[in-house]
Structure 1
Amino acid sequence: MADNIASLIKFSQLCEVFDKTCMLKKQEKSAPLSLFIKEYKDKALNLRKENPNALISFYPALRLILPQLERERAAYGLKEFTLAKRIIKILCLPPQGGDAIRLTSFKSSGNTNIKDFADAAYWILRKHFLDSSGVSILQVNEYLNSISQLNADNNPRGVDEELHNLFRCTNADEQKWLIRIILKDLKLGMGQDRILKLYHPDAVDLFTVNNSLSIVCDTLSDLTVRLHEIEVSMFSPFRPMLSQRCDPVQFKKVFSNNPRLYIENKFDGERFQLHMDNNVFKFFSRNGFDYTSTYGANYSTGGYTPLLKNAFKRHVRNVILDGEMMGWNKKTNQFGSKGMDFDVKHLKPHNVYQPCFCVFDIIFLNDQVLSNKPLCDRLLLLNTIINPVQGVIVTSHRMEATSEQEVIDCLNRSMDREEEGIVFKDVKSLYKSNDLAIPDKVPSEYCSFAKIASGLSNDELKILDEKLGPHWKKKNEGNPEDFGIYWGKEKPDLWIPPNKSCVLLVRGSELVRSADFNTKYTLRFPRILKIRLDKPIYDCLSLSELEELAGTKAVQKLSKRHIELSDLEVVEKEKKIRRRYVPAEIKPVEAKSDILSGYEFCVLSGYEDWGKDDVEISIRERGGSVVLVERSTTLCILAGDDHPRINICKQQNGQCDVVKLEWLRNIINTEEFTLYTPLHMYHICKKTRNRFLGEYDKYGDSYTKNITEEDVPNIIESVKQSVIKNQLPRLIPLNVTNFRKIMPIFHHLRLDIYDMKWL
């Protein structure tokens, strides 16, 4: 009689569920898996009736369905390339043969039908493995346990043999899913939370607390039983309570409900929890990974725990502490940061840095869970159990704030010291696991925000090149939108998939609106401060957070001043009117003529003796109108000097003419309106260019009107520019002496050189 339900469920049944799920639409994907879970549980209950001692947990199946959440099985040591090499070895493929190359270079194959490495391997494996021996879910887990243990024992030959044994009892379709399980990415098109909720409505909450699929399956085996309270337990990891980003306007609302706050400096380390029971220790990271083997399980093992020998008071039997593991520089007696060249999770004794645990909360003490006690009570207990040791274990320094100004002062001091920031906490808050958390999942969309070219040293550029170099794609190589990347008008020459990229710490002088980037905002004078290889890509600034910042006065000038009390005032947003269609707010002027009546102008700049404001007044005095930004009814843009907008109009082929201000000055001086000619232009739009082609030659000389003395210097300049453009062997100086020598060039000019007395 079977004693484990997992031995009665074939792995092929689970593979069929995976295949069906992949083929269904997003809203229908839950059905096959939901039915599988129900049938599994029904068989389990029947087995329990036959054998009261039978194991009926869903865990053996769930750890295959959600391999990315597996915590109890160590790493397999198998990635895409190493798997490719082992499959080539198992199948005895020629290393330079077509199938071997398709395995090792599947990404560059160009075959759009190949979704991932498992897909590429399937089409090769199906030639060699047709039948399945009906391997069960239990047997698959045993094989995977063995591969994991052999890898931990540094036995690559044993890994090869066990992988070969697993492949011999499965067919190609099963092997495709085995590869995805080993690579921890099934590509089902369903999020982990959705799958957990299919098992039990409270499964997400429980997993959030303890990061253990086995505990989820054992605790929530009955759908009719709901989880009303989740307790923290000794030596069982849980997701810590996380902070939430908050801008000054949001803080105004928070402070009004919490007149007493604790303020702490934000640490730039690795979130850790320390469990100790009768001098036996365990250390867990934020995501539930066990680092006890690194830090030490007792006072005589590891690189950190021996330093804690006298750190706890005598009355402390067991305790769970929440804090940040920082790197302490033993030479300078200062903390380092995650952006520096060390990993606090893997520090060696000879390293200049050693781990230092900065404690800011206590969750469990002497067999009592403290999560339901207010923060102020928890911290009172924390102060009674630790003997702080510099560079080893310390408690977070905090101050109590009862006014907004005190919080602002703390924030400004943190800014002056270029620290990570500050954290403020309600003194009455309870400890809620994973509360206010940023989800540990990759965003589906990424927006362009800024263009940055400075801030990194040569060494930092080398680090960045090593990280990103192999993954750059050319502009026309692939579709960035397939990776969720969206540009604005500015498009780069190279791009990189977000999952191959990294987070940068960037500073700018000002946050401004921009139509060039997808975020609609950008930074002025941006520069890179740090490469944050320690941060996952989902930890970058989100679009909603950027928009919140953009609505805060304090970020308009990012590096010019401190936060002020007035920045916390919540003001009602004014109704936005597009600037493009709003005429300049002007005072009445005295009408002098109507020669510009019906014409609309946009003035970029004036002269020293005729400023921009004076130009606009002159236009209005003569019946014209002025706008701040050109539009379809604008006659032209006027510029008195070399304004940056001129080059922008040329580069972007602007739809409005850019005209020299001298043209308008001539009209005002003569009180006679004439349209501008090619000699007056900085930039010519397409419509005007077509008109000029029928009225003027290439030097700006009219086919129908005589030129004036004022036109000649401009025509001469046009000819000179044409000579330069055509790269004639010698440029002839245009002066009185040699002007007659180049007379043939001007044969098209209808005037007599000997009558030009102005020479």
Structure 2
Amino acid sequence: MAYSQKQPDAAAVEEDERQYGSGPLSREELDAKYPHRPHNHSQTFPFHELFKSLFNPLNDIKKRPTGPTVARAKQGPHGPNNPSPHEMRRNIIQRFMSRWRSEVGDDFYPAMRLIVPEKDRDRPMYGLKEKAIGKLLVKLMKISPDSEDGYNLINWKLPGQSTTTRMAGDFAGRCFDVLSKRTMRSTVGNMRIAEVNELLDKLAAAQGESQQLPIFETFYENMNAEELMWLIRIILRQMKLGASEKTILDLWHPDAEALFNVSSNLRRVCWELTDPTQRLDDEEGGIGLMSCFQPQLAQFSMFSFQKMVDRMGVTEDDPEFWIEEKLDGERMQLHMVEDDSVAGGKRFAFWSRKAKDYTYLYGNGFEDDNSALTRHLKDAFDPRVRNIILDGEMITWDPESDLMVPFGTLKTAALEQQKNPFSTGIRPLFRVFDCLYINDQDITKFTLRDRYKALTQSVRDVHRRMEIHSHVVAKSVDEIEPLLRKVVAEASEGLVLKNPRSMYRLNSRNDDWMKVKPEYMTEFGESLDCLIIGGYYGSGHKGGRLSSFLCGLRVTKNIIDSQGANPMKFYSFFKVGGGFRAEDYDKVMYLTAGKWVTWDRKNPPTEYIELGGPDGQYERPDVWIKPSDSVVVEVRAASVGSSDSFKTKFTLRFPRFKRIRTDKDWQSTLSIDDFINLKAKAEADREKEMKVDSSRKRMTKRRKKELVIAGNDSKIKTPYGGPQTKILEGLNFCVLSEMLQPVKKSKAEIEEIIKSNGGSIFQSPTAKEHILCIGDKKVVKVASLIKRGHTNVIKPSWILDALKQAEIDGPGKERFLVPFEPNHMLHVAPESREAIARNVDQYGDSYARDLNPQELKGVLEDMMPIKNSTFSPTAFLSELEQRGKGLGELRGSLFRGCVAYLAPSDGKQNSATELERKVARLRFLFAAGAIAEDLHAEVTHVVVTNEDRGQVRALRQQIAESGRRKIPRVVGWDWVTESWSEGTLLDEERFAVV
């Protein structure tokens, strides 16, 4: 590694000793563990350099107006003199890192752990949230909690007591607002990054307010308001800079993300990767024992079962895929090594998906007195196993009912097992589904089949303590639905489909593992009338006003009689914040003005409202309202699920506001008995075929097209029946498998193409020297060549590309042979890798041939985001929606999942109406809506203009005759325009056309 050549000055040496001498490992132990760790030649930057040179510039880019009109008018086309926002962010980060290397040295770890604090696993959590920090600052500044500033800090989500509420919902911003009036310094302080890290380490180790307050006092005395604001964001690990940790790691070193994925260790990334020109070896980039890694995750898929299976790459030769039950627990990795210093000779470590160390809970050895699990695993491993890494799910199991307990009780069960290891109560159970390392060998590059074989030969089931997770070997799509129905009936999480031919991909979601969960299915869709009983203040731009509401079910007469309860009593049921437009919020607040009461945790209004949880404080609202003073809202939900967070013990999944029911009062809302009866009826009617709900993803009508050359309408010619060109003359080929992409062709067809263009065919890759091996699948022969490592395996698509380019260039250049490119290769020998990579530019654009439309589209997509990014917009959006978050009020996602059929115009519209229709259509498409050419099965809305309302009857007749199970809504264009104006998807009934 190329470290700084400058000798460290005395101040840098002292700084190094201070910041690395007070952690879990002493400075000497760190030097022994990292013998080549870099040492800075100068002191670290002052802390304020972080936000002046990095944080604020990145935030300024986030605040810039976006959109094509602004980009054209203000920024012009992107280029070297006018970079895109993405390039600007990269430039800002690169400049800061270059300055650090030049002015400080090669040890970037002190800065990195403040830039991406959420990825710093070396520093424990502080145990401080917004309210706790607010109380500390109130005491520090010696102001009354009841004063305006004290109230604003402690109740940061609530509107301020003054008319200024711009900082409501932004805790760090509100802290700046209060601190700027009374900080000890008006200018930036002189604390350096190393000093800040040293104090933050002490803060993480501090116990209670008495130890935390002096540390905050030191920060307060040495920082101005802006420095303190950024410090608070670092403590809360809520930076929101607009640049992901992937970008930051990639700019530090090309292999930084890969090393972080296998180690989850920022310190190791910064200390082992100091020179960007020195790349990691393959072995260095693999997982290691007792080093936490970022696990592979299952993809959220919204495709049909058939499409899911197709995307896993099943073939006629190997149609197999695996179906596992999805477990409702916590993802966990287990590491075990031989260690004579531990009683029993085996040492264990456990880490969660978020790299939290749970060894203290589950045990570090067979004889660990605090073990909730390992003391039961003495017979769990084959005697030949010296060390191993297992991937699985830690779940809670109830031995009495012999059933899995829903998520949320795992830690309680583990703590109980620590106290009483042979208790018959609930316990942690580790279900193992993958083996990634065995006896000093990383096997993540092996197929899932081989890894599972290694797992079954290495691990033995320990009944209801550690067990191998079973799977069903399936060969037909028809096998999925019965299993899904079974897990739905058993209230399980769902299924995971896995590709047994796949290798393990760290920190990745891809089509090799795909989730199928009950809530993805088209099932429950009732509208319910429920009463608002509480409210929650929003954050960000919604700060200072109620943005979501707690709704409840009316307590029934039998409960009132048995408990002597107030007849006007409600149990908490669900929270709703989606579907409201501005006028709906205004109407709710108008009807309830002056009737909201701040929730008092010490004196909750149990006479009227009961919340969930053992202490009756789960999902506690900021304010509550007496039922007789409240309003009834109609909501629609996707499904019902069990939940301990609400008093009813169940809740709605993905509830959405539909309308305010001014015709109803608290006495006519849904009661607990009413809802139970409604739920039972819905379940009894649920006999229809279970299908994936594809309405959430954008559906586009796809037509199978012939592959054409970009800028040329001529089709690809596949020559047969004698030589057509001499482009392959003098070349020897061995075709090892069929062709899969871009078109499917048999081995014989590929050989015929080669012979028709002058090439020679051999059936063995060793039959002659200089044979080009052609293959598109890892059949046995291909796998054998790859294992040897020094033979290139070329995809058949290279042959088609060579023929296409010969056709484009014409007879005068038909001897020009397209060079190999990375996407032409199934396997590249190490000695050829660099030469082949030089045949394309940084985005994968070929220097030697014209691209087809699909390739050109791929190149353009790779330019932004970064090339080879594992980020998938579809998967990201699906995950947000499944977690009930979505994209909020972003207009670019407003109509996602909506497929509209536009009623054809009768041609009588005036120009103004026609223009309005065109604008609304463009808005619909911009906001992720899809437009259908006809009334096919996926259409969710039929949109007509006022002048076309005469067509409605005929359209409804067409819909009725189609026999569709799900009827699309017929709405006017004003549904699109008003939803756009309000920034939220409005209820269609208000705009229904009859």
Q: Which amino acid aligns with 2:200?
A: L
Q: Which amino acid aligns with 2:226?
A: D
Q: Who is 2:724 aligned against?
A: none
Counterpart secondary structure, 2:278: coil
2:361 to 262, 279, 294: 294
Is residue 312 of structure 2 the alignment partner of residue 239 of structure 1?
Answer: no
Partner Cα separation in structure 1 for residue 251 and residue 689 of structure 2: 50
> Contact between 1:472 and 1:494, CA under 8 Å: does it hold in 2?
no
Q: Which amino acid aligns with 1:431?
A: Y
> Shift of the alpha carbon at 1:489?
12
> Contact between 2:325 and 2:494, CA under 8 Å: does it hold in 1?
yes
Q: Who is 1:120 aligned against?
A: 174
Q: Which amino acid aligns with 1:10?
A: P
Q: Who is 2:321 aligned against?
A: 261
Partner Cα separation in structure 2 for residue 533 and residue 208 of structure 1: 34
Counterpart secondary structure, 2:436: strand
Distance 1:82 1:378, change over 3 A: same
Q: CA RMSD in A?
A: 4.7
> Shift of the alpha carbon at 1:176?
1.8
> Shift of the alpha carbon at 1:558?
9.8
Partner Cα separation in structure 2 for residue 347 and residue 91 of structure 1: 42
Q: Who is 1:16 aligned against?
A: 52
Q: Which amino acid aligns with 1:248?
A: F
Distance 1:267 1:490, change over 3 A: farther
Counterpart secondary structure, 1:175: helix
Distance 1:489 1:73, change over 3 A: closer
Partner Cα separation in structure 2 for residue 331 and residue 324 of structure 1: 21
1:364 to 423, 427, 437: 437
Distance 1:72 1:427, change over 3 A: same
Q: Who is 2:809 aligned against?
A: none
CA shift digits 1:353-411 (9 cap, x unpaired): 10000001101111111111122221112112222111100001123223344445444
Residues 444-483 of structure 1 aligned to structure 2 (within 5 Å): 470-471=536-537, 477=545
> Contact between 2:47 and 2:193, CA under 8 Å: does it hold in 1?
yes
> Shift of the alpha carbon at 1:418?
4.3
2:348 to 268, 276, 281: 281
> Contact between 2:165 and 2:543, CA under 8 Å: does it hold in 1?
no
Q: Who is 2:194 aligned against?
A: 138
Q: Who is 1:734 aligned against?
A: none
Distance 1:223 1:271, change over 3 A: same
CA shift digits 1:81-122 (9 cap, x unpaired): 221221222222234333323322343126354372222223
> Shift of the alpha carbon at 1:36?
1.4
> Contact between 2:447 and 2:501, CA under 8 Å: does it hold in 1?
yes
Q: Which amino acid aligns with 1:529?
A: G
Q: Who is 1:81 aligned against?
A: 131
Counterpart secondary structure, 1:9: coil
> Shift of the alpha carbon at 1:572?
10
Partner Cα separation in structure 2 for residue 564 and residue 77 of structure 1: 44
Counterpart secondary structure, 2:271: helix
> Contact between 2:535 and 2:547, CA under 8 Å: does it hold in 1?
no
2:494 to 421, 435, 438: 421
> Shift of the alpha carbon at 1:329?
0.3
Instruction: State the number of aligned residues.
Output: 523
Q: Who is 1:39 aligned against?
A: 99
2:372 to 289, 293, 303: 303
Residues 316-335 of structure 1 aligned to structure 2 (within 5 Å): 316-335=385-404
Q: Who is 1:623 aligned against?
A: none
> Shift of the alpha carbon at 1:472?
7.5
Partner Cα separation in structure 2 for residue 489 and residue 102 of structure 1: 25
Distance 1:346 1:34, change over 3 A: farther
Partner Cα separation in structure 2 for residue 124 and residue 269 of structure 1: 42
> Contact between 1:339 and 1:533, CA under 8 Å: does it hold in 2?
no
> Shift of the alpha carbon at 1:271?
1.0
Q: Who is 1:621 aligned against?
A: none
1:169 to 222, 232, 255: 222
Distance 1:92 1:560, change over 3 A: same
Counterpart secondary structure, 1:102: helix
- Once the two structures are overlaid, the 10-residue window that deviates more, 302-311 or 399-408, is 399-408
Partner Cα separation in structure 1 for residue 136 and residue 582 of structure 2: 46
> Contact between 2:135 and 2:154, CA under 8 Å: does it hold in 1?
yes
- Once the two structures are overlaid, the 10-residue window that deviates more, 198-207 or 176-185, is 198-207
> Contact between 1:356 and 1:393, CA under 8 Å: does it hold in 2?
yes
TM-score (norm 1): 0.60
Is residue 252 of structure 2 the alignment partner of residue 199 of structure 1?
Answer: yes
- Once the two structures are overlaid, the 10-residue window that deviates more, 342-351 or 230-239, is 342-351
Is there any run of 5+ residues in structure 2 with no aligned partner, and where? 1-8, 17-39, 65-84, 339-345, 514-522, 549-575, 590-617, 620-633, 647-652, 656-683, 704-898, 907-941, 954-970, 975-990
> Contact between 1:270 and 1:344, CA under 8 Å: does it hold in 2?
no
CA shift digits 1:672-703 (9 cap, x unpaired): xxxxxxxxxxxxx9xxxxxxxxxxxxxxxxxx
Q: Who is 1:160 aligned against?
A: 213
1:530 to 628, 636, 642: 642
Distance 1:433 1:347, change over 3 A: farther
Counterpart secondary structure, 1:384: helix
- Once the two structures are overlaid, the 10-residue window that deviates more, 70-79 or 112-121, is 112-121
Counterpart secondary structure, 2:354: coil
2:203 to 132, 147, 162: 147
CA shift digits 1:627-686 (9 cap, x unpaired): 999963667999xxxxxxxxxxxxx9999xxxxxxxxxxxxxxxxxxxxxxxxxxxxx9x
Q: Which amino acid aligns with 1:387?
A: R
Q: Who is 2:687 aligned against?
A: 560
Partner Cα separation in structure 2 for residue 407 and residue 320 of structure 1: 30
> Shift of the alpha carbon at 1:138?
0.8
Residues 606-645 of structure 1 aligned to structure 2 (within 5 Å): 632=947
Partner Cα separation in structure 2 for residue 237 and residue 231 of structure 1: 11
Q: Which amino acid aligns with 2:108?
A: F
Counterpart secondary structure, 1:378: helix
Structure 1 or 2, whichever has the larger Rg, is 1
Partner Cα separation in structure 2 for residue 574 and residue 213 of structure 1: 45
CA shift digits 1:268-314 (9 cap, x unpaired): 22111111112111111111111111112122232222122322222
Distance 1:476 1:221, change over 3 A: closer
Q: Which amino acid aligns with 1:118?
A: A
Distance 1:163 1:336, change over 3 A: same
2:308 to 230, 247, 251: 251
> Shift of the alpha carbon at 1:479?
7.7
Q: Which amino acid aligns with 2:231?
A: L
Q: Which amino acid aligns with 2:214?
A: E
Q: Which amino acid aligns with 2:199?
A: Y
TM-score (norm 2): 0.46
Distance 1:633 1:358, change over 3 A: closer
Partner Cα separation in structure 1 for residue 453 and residue 395 of structure 2: 23
Q: Which amino acid aligns with 1:426?
A: N
Is there any run of 5+ residues in structure 1 with no aligned partner, and where? 46-55, 440-448, 496-500, 503-516, 535-539, 543-556, 584-626, 639-651, 656-684, 686-759
Q: Which amino acid aligns with 2:190?
A: G
Residues 588-603 of structure 1 aligned to structure 2 (within 5 Å): none
Partner Cα separation in structure 2 for residue 57 and residue 558 of structure 1: 64
> Shift of the alpha carbon at 1:562?
4.5
> Contact between 2:537 and 2:543, CA under 8 Å: does it hold in 1?
no
Counterpart secondary structure, 1:209: helix
Partner Cα separation in structure 1 for residue 544 and residue 211 of structure 2: 44
Partner Cα separation in structure 2 for residue 85 and residue 64 of structure 1: 24
Distance 1:489 1:406, change over 3 A: farther
Q: Which amino acid aligns with 1:33?
A: I
> Shift of the alpha carbon at 1:173?
2.4
> Shift of the alpha carbon at 1:347?
5.4
Partner Cα separation in structure 1 for residue 203 and residue 654 of structure 2: 39
- Once the two structures are overlaid, the 10-residue window that deviates more, 58-67 or 262-271, is 262-271
> Shift of the alpha carbon at 1:327?
0.7
> Shift of the alpha carbon at 1:530?
2.7
Is residue 338 of structure 2 the alignment partner of residue 338 of structure 1?
Answer: no
Distance 1:390 1:97, change over 3 A: same
- Once the two structures are overlaid, the 10-residue window that deviates more, 21-30 or 130-139, is 21-30
